[in-house]
Amino acid sequence: MDKKEARIRILGKIFMYTVEFFHRKGFVQLMPVMLGKSVDPLGPDPGSSVVKIPEIEYNGQVLRLVTSMILHKQYALRTFDRLFIMSPNIRLERKERMKSGRHLFEFTQADFEIANAKMEDVFSIVEEYYSGLTGFLEKEAGEEFKVIGTEIFRFSPPFKRYTTKELKERYGEEWERKASLEHEQPFWALSHKREFYDKEDEKQPGEYLNYDIIYPLGYGEGLSGAEREHEYERIVMRIKRDGLDFKSYEAYLKYAREGFTPSAGAGIGMERLARFLTKASHIKDVQLFKRVPGIKVEI
Ligand code: AMP
Ligand code: MG
């Protein structure tokens, strides 16, 4: 086994741990969808830079390649209270992202959602997820880590929490990279101005009930999530405010009008987690079929 093979094997083990973890915590696993009528607009989000969301016409309908299943998760809460999907996402990131070391145009996230949950519920699930991962990998992937010559990272929650305002004051606009380099444990970055489905704090307009996990040592963002806007009027107001095309959200808005359940959730990027744990200089090193923005696909 060489280093490349070891990294790919470790990603598979992380996947296995993730599926088992969510089942153990009582989540129902749903299969991914790859085409949707309404999909995540991925913006406005300073962290996102997709060139376009591809559409195909099939059977008299316009379908979009799934950028994330957030809108489908809200719909799925009509049936299940706790759900997760190992969800492949297509995001045609602009080619400059090639150099970030952490962008792919095809990747997989462990995407979960919990009915009637608040941020704190998500924090405790996520911290439990990370802290159990170390022991699992010691048991299941010791050989692989030996081959790459890396110690298995010890997560020690609870992770520190900062608002993006605090981070910007301390590190400036490039807070993510700088703060990541200065930390030795992951931390939570709270309250980002981004997509319409992330809940705005009604007590403090302009503040958002959303959060990221930032991996330490320069690896950067590994998870994003939020409490969700679930009331039809607020969703419409947010879509308007973002200047999005209502036509793309017709399907979603129909269900929003019937009423969504309040919820909170998050998505954990599998390749980013494997990159961080295996200390790979570029995220492509955990992929066999490389999907790097700006680089031609081989097969
Ligand atoms: P998001 O909610 O858009 O932040 O996506 C959830 C998670 O998926 C992120 O926190 C990352 O771990 C991962 N992710 C997002 N975009 C990419 C990308 N272009 N390449 C690899 N992983 C990504
Ligand atoms: Mg994000």
Does the pLDDT at position 46 exceed 90? no
Does residue 186 form part of some domain?
yes
Cα end-to-end span (Å), the chain: 23
- Write out the residue range of the structural domain in which residue 8 sits: 3-286
- Residue nearest (by alpha carbon) to ligand 1 atom 2: 224
Q: What is the CATH number of the domain that holds 239?
A: 3.30.930.10
The alpha carbon of 191 and the centre of ligand 1 are apart by a number of angstroms equal to 17
- Read off the pTM: 0.98
Does residue 193 form part of some domain?
yes
Does residue 143 form part of some domain?
yes
Name the β-bridge partners of 30: 85
Q: What is the tally of helices (H) and strands (E) in the chain? A: 9, 11
Report the Cα 250 to chain-centroid distance in Å.
24
Across 65-72, average pLDDT: 98
Across 96-117, average pLDDT: 97
Strand order in the sheet with 35-36: 35-36, 61-65, 55-58
Does residue 20 form part of some domain?
yes
Does residue 204 form part of some domain?
yes
Report the Cα 229 to chain-centroid distance in Å.
18
Structurally, the chain folds into a number of domains equal to: 1
- Tokens for 105, please give them: 């145009």
Which mutation among 89, 268, 289 tests ligand 1's pocket best, with the greatest number of atoms within 8 A of CB? 89
Does residue 292 form part of some domain?
no
Does residue 295 form part of some domain?
no
- Tokens for 212, please give them: 């990221």
Does residue 131 form part of some domain?
yes
SS3 content of the chain, % helix, strand, coil (to 5): 40, 25, 40
Query: What is the average pLDDT value for the chain, to the nearest integer?
Result: 97
For the chain, give the number of residues. 299
Does the pLDDT at position 266 exceed 90? yes
